[in-house]
Amino acid sequence: MSEESVTELIKRELPHLLQADPSLRTWVLDVAREEFAPRQGTEDRFTQLLQEMKEERERREEEQAKWNARWQKQEEKWQEQGGLWQKQDDRWQKQDDRWQKQEELRQRQDEKWQEQMEMWKKNDERWQKQEELRQRQDEKWQEQMEMWKKNDERWRKQEELRQRQDEKWQEQMEMWKKNDERWQKNDERWRRDDERWRKNDEKWQKNEQRWQRQDEKWEESRKEFAQVHEEIMAQAKKFDRSIGALGARWGMQSEKTFRNALAGILEESFGVQVLNVNEYDDSGEVFGRPDQVELDVIIKNGLLIISELKSSIDKAGMYIFERKVRFYEKHHQRKADRLIVISPMIDPKAQAVADQLGIETYCDSTEVEKL
């Protein structure tokens, strides 16, 4: 707002404010009281001045009538009158000085009004800042509420994860129960075999003349027994690896030990070497921040096979394996021919991701048909 507009506003609004607000009128009078003479004193001086002028006029008329007779006295009186006029001029000069002071007072009042307007302007700016501060406080409260909502969502997900873990434990208990049933059936088979051997011995005593034929049957039985024994041992090793996977999953066995067991089976079955590659990801391409990247690499007949040997893997782990592979391909400038994940516990969601990304999955190293 310019100085001229402020002046116009004061001229237009001040009379109404003085009439409507007695306290404001009193304040203005108190401020200007030191610069103006009292009303009664001014009226007395003005009345005195008029009275003196009247008396002077009467004397002049009286002296004019006696002019001729009193010329000498008139000259003296005129000299005396000149002194009075000089005093009158002095009085008028003093009055001009008072008017000058009054004008200066008015200018100071204008300056004070300007200062008051500046103060009101600063006050408005302070209120504006206060309002902005309140808005920022409201935004911070809103952010706090959003953080509490996210915290509740995390607790809900944690509870869902705990429930899924309980379900997995139940599934494991069912698997152990089925395993016990299989061992019971296996014991029953051995008992029946013992019974058969006992009867077979009796037959040997009765049929010594058929030793040749019996030797052939013995050879067949031995082969069958060896085959059954190999199947039982392979199944037992598979169960041992499943149990080892559980141990690695819950901290009873290290993940490295489980990985070495699976790698050993692959090397023994296919005559290859499983190389454990451990490189550093400076740019954070795999985990979103710099970290070690570990992969198992198999090279056979010019083919590059990248595998992941773990006790268990979920959906996130499957995506991480795929990013590890892309990291290896980018830094070694070579495309992998096959991607293999071997784990006895593969989450169904992870299996869907593997199918989508073209990753082969096996529950055990023995299930891999060929490399």
Is there a single domain that holds both residue 128 and residue 247?
A: no
CB 328 within 8 A of CB 358: no
Name the amino acid, one letter, at 278. Answer: N
CB 311 within 8 A of CB 343: yes
CB 308 within 8 A of CB 321: yes
Question: Which of 113, 137, 161 is the last residue before a domain boundary?
Answer: 137
**Residue 255 structural domain:** 238-367
CB 272 within 8 A of CB 264: no
Q: Is residue 33 situated within a structural domain?
A: yes
Q: Is residue 322 situated within a structural domain?
A: yes
Residue 283 makes CB contacts below 8 A (sequence gap 6+) with 290
Q: What is the CATH number of the domain that holds 278?
A: 3.40.1350.10
> Dmax over Cα atoms in the chain, in whole Å?
207
Helices (H) and strands (E) in the chain, counts: 8, 7
Q: Is residue 183 situated within a structural domain?
A: no
Is there a single domain that holds both residue 129 and residue 251?
A: no
Q: Is residue 20 situated within a structural domain?
A: yes
Question: Which of 137, 162, 181 is the last residue before a domain boundary?
Answer: 137
371 residues of the chain, pLDDT tens digit each: 677 787 877 777 777 777 888 887 787 777 776 666 566 666 666 677 778 888 888 888 887 777 667 777 767 777 777 777 788 778 888 888 888 888 888 888 888 888 888 888 887 788 888 888 888 888 888 888 898 899 889 889 988 988 998 898 888 889 889 988 888 888 888 888 888 888 877 877 776 776 776 667 767 766 765 665 465 455 545 444 444 444 444 343 445 655 665 565 566 666 677 788 888 989 888 888 999 988 888 887 778 888 888 878 899 988 998 999 999 899 899 898 888 888 878 888 988 988 998 988 887 656 555 55
Domain count, the chain: 2
Tell me what pLDDT residue 365 has: 52
Q: Is residue 221 situated within a structural domain?
A: no
Question: Which of 119, 137, 155 is the last residue before a domain boundary?
Answer: 137
- Dihedrals φ, ψ of 362, to 5°? -140, 145
Q: What is the pTM of this model?
A: 0.35
Q: Is residue 204 situated within a structural domain?
A: no
Q: Is residue 196 situated within a structural domain?
A: no
Is there a single domain that holds both residue 133 and residue 243?
A: no
Q: Is residue 166 situated within a structural domain?
A: no
Tell me what pLDDT residue 234 has: 52
Please work out, in degrees rounded to the nearest 5, the angle formed at the alpha carbon of residue 70 by the alpha carbons of 64 and 72.
115
Which residue pairs, CB below 8 angstroms and at least 24 apart, start in 274-282?
Answer: 274/298, 274/307, 274/309, 275/299, 277/328, 279/327, 279/328, 279/331, 281/327
CB 207 within 8 A of CB 214: yes
